[in-house]
Amino acid sequence: MDFDFSPEDEAFRAEVRAFIAEHRPAPGDADGIAKWQRAVREKRWVGFSWTVEVGGGGGTISQQVILKDEMSKARAPALGSCFMGLAWVGPALIEYGTEEQKQRFIPDILDGRVQWCTGYSEPDSGSDLASLKCKGVREGDHYVVNGQKICTSIAMWSQWIILLVRTSGDGTKHEGITCLLVPMDTDGIEVRPIRNMSGGAMFAEVFFDDVRVPVENRLGAEGAGWKVTVSALAHERSSIAEVTGLQRTLGELEELARRCQKNGRPASEDAGIRRRIAQADTRVEAMRLNGLGSLTRQLNGTSLAGETSVNKLHRANLEIELGELALAIQGERGPLDGAAAEQDGKWQRLALSWPEVVIGGGTPNIQRNIIAERILGLPKD
């Protein structure tokens, strides 16, 4: 296992740092953020892992990790503004889309002209995505869609949805699923935001009532939607960028502990608080090393068998625990006085908004199943 980057990779890291120093906009500077997005697009750092032929950067795996890591450390704006399109829709289009579909959709994703959401989860399916019931019935040159999706991220702001529907009940539950690309302004689509505990809304329910979708908007073959989806979700990450964010949060919590009072003394001197910070720090470091191990295996040409689920599971637990730790550091009066008051409820919002991170990308139970089946080789039954 090699944790050192090559001289070429370190040269790329220096290039990224120099770019950030020159182009990073000030927080809240809308014009600066727009200029930033144009600049990273010109560098082909949006869709950096995609091939040059489709408009991507053709970056290596190690360069992708360095790019995300340095951007996270610098708190730079996102690389592109269409997260779902870059994470899942684009890779699926590259592998399964027709040339017409690629030309139609990929440039808009790379340029951030549209937002995509993913219509996968359903109320009665739980973690078993393959048991979905939202139906798509072929009528001539259209599919007529009826059903519901839930926990659909950013559906309120999206122009398109990549949608899984059941077009056949024959065979196993993984068969008969078809993937459709649907405009969100199509007649018969209703979006209802789901408010979280802090008052915000990242998820939504989406209802489909006789929604007509042209057959030309099908991605992949009819009945092959499960294959398309698994392929899209298989674009694994080493999670190093996520580790950088957790390290930053932990550093902020350590500073908060030094400034907040607990029983008349800095909270950082409380044995219980110190123990919890140390435990979190150890787990974040374990995530970092696990991510580097996964990266090493990828660079050596070894396919990952679900190793990133280990980090996803760790992160889900840490998101909850760090929010609870922040509240413990602040004490009973919370943000009402002292150093906590200057944070304007920042840590309270963190403690209440964890479901979006924990549920998104697969719940902890899903990650445990992946670890058990793909890494440990345990039977499903």
Catalytic residues: 236
Phi-psi region at 168: left, alpha or beta (left = phi > 0; alpha = psi -120 to 50): beta
What tokens does 219 get? 């991605």
- Determine the residue type at 277: I
CA distances from 81 to 113, 159, 200, 293, 335 (A): 8, 13, 20, 29, 32
What tokens does 333 get? 């009066």
CA distance 58 to 305: 24
CA distance 332 to 262: 10
CA distance 154 to 270: 41
CA distance 46 to 36: 11
CA distance 110 to 100: 16
